[in-house]
Amino acid sequence: MHPTSTFVPSFLKAITDNTEESFRSIMSEPSPGVFTFEMLQPSFCELLVSEVENFEKWVNEAKFRIMRPNTMNRYGAVLDDFGLETMLDKMMESFVRPISKVFFSEVGGATLDSHHGFVVEYGKDRDVDLGFHVDDSEVTLNVCLGKQFLGGELFFRGTRCDKHVNTGSQSEEIFDYTHAPGRAVLHRGRHRHGARATTSGHRINLLLWCRSSVFREMKKYQKEFSSWCGECLREKKERQRASLAATKWETLVAIYFLTVHDKRVAEERERIYDMTSFCIINAGLVLFMLMYS
Ligand SMILES: O=C(O)CCC(=O)C(=O)O
Ligand SMILES: [Fe+2]
């Protein structure tokens, strides 16, 4: 991989500067946790597409059966299987990991150490759409390679852990993204998504599912994931709200009892004062009468 012929200059500069500001300067985050930016040179996209077409031609002629990218796509190919593994490893290590370290550290973004790289293809005689799913990855890079097409939007519905994968979405989690050749989308693998029908033309996208063995090991010992699961976070906030409300009630009850108690003490004190002054006055009167009778 030759960086200057693979990546657009703005992307290369941001990677060289390697700061959050430099990444943010080339990216937009149209929905929380979904980052999009210009990434691949048009000539590199064409080269990769023609390589995939060559591979498919060879597979068809040789009547080979090849591994499809995942359980959902019937078309496309695993790039690692035809010599691109080293190139994709480099892409993950030097280009995806520095960005993920900044934006996805809570899901092992800094420790991505393996990948599954493939292309998906949609259009006539190919897949039409892709159902709602989560990826087997910590961070997913999805770059459109072309060619010309209509439709094929990615729809996102919030990030979820295993336990909450089928829960509903909050309105702020609903987001649609329209692919454009050369442009990348970077998101957590657990960010639920799917692709709408490619209604005409031919769409080819490069997918790099990046994984972190460290994160996967640590995850086994954790019970809640409020740092990245939208539903764990919602439940945590709800628990905090309920406990705050309970504390407020307890405080109010305490104040009430203290006030009533104080009032009773004051009343009792007043009664004793009254009695004492009554006795003193009466005793004085009796003494007076005795003295002058
Ligand atoms: O078609 C797309 O752009 C999405 C593909 C995808 O989500 C996947 O292969 O995991
Ligand atoms: Fe996916």
Q: What is the ipTM of this complex?
A: 0.99
Rounded to an integer, what is the distance from CA 99 to the centroid of its chain?
15
Confidence of residue 211 (pLDDT cuts 50, 70, 90): very high
How crowded is residue 204: how many other Cβ atoms within 10 Å of its Cβ?
Answer: 24
Whether the Cβ atoms of residue 23 and residue 102 lie closer than 8 Å to each other? yes
Closest ligand 1 atom, CA of 69? 9
Whether the Cβ atoms of residue 140 and residue 221 lie closer than 8 Å to each other? no
Tell me the percentage of the chain whose pLDDT exceeds 90. 75
- Ligand 1 surroundings by CB, under 6 angstroms: 70, 120, 130, 135, 142, 154, 193, 195, 205, 207
Phi, psi (5° rounding) for residue 101?
-60, -35
pTM: 0.85
Task: State pLDDT tens for residues 136-146.
Answer: 999 999 999 99
- The predicted structure's pLDDT at residue 248: 87
- pLDDT of residue 280 exceeding 90: no
Task: State pLDDT tens for residues 37-96.
Answer: 999 999 999 999 999 999 989 988 998 888 888 878 777 889 998 899 999 999 999 999
- pLDDT of residue 134 exceeding 90: yes
Choose one of 75, 79, 120, 122 to mutate for the ligand 1 pocket test, by most ligand atoms within 8 angstroms of C-beta: 120
Q: Where are the alpha helices (DSSP H) in the chain?
A: 3-6, 9-17, 20-26, 42-61, 85-91, 97-103, 213-219, 230-292
- The predicted structure's pLDDT at residue 110: 98
- pLDDT of residue 265 exceeding 80: no
Whether the Cβ atoms of residue 137 and residue 107 lie closer than 8 Å to each other? no
- Rounded to whole angstroms, how far apart are CA atoms 25 and 279? 89
Whether the Cβ atoms of residue 89 and residue 208 lie closer than 8 Å to each other? no
Q: What is the mean pLDDT of the chain?
A: 94
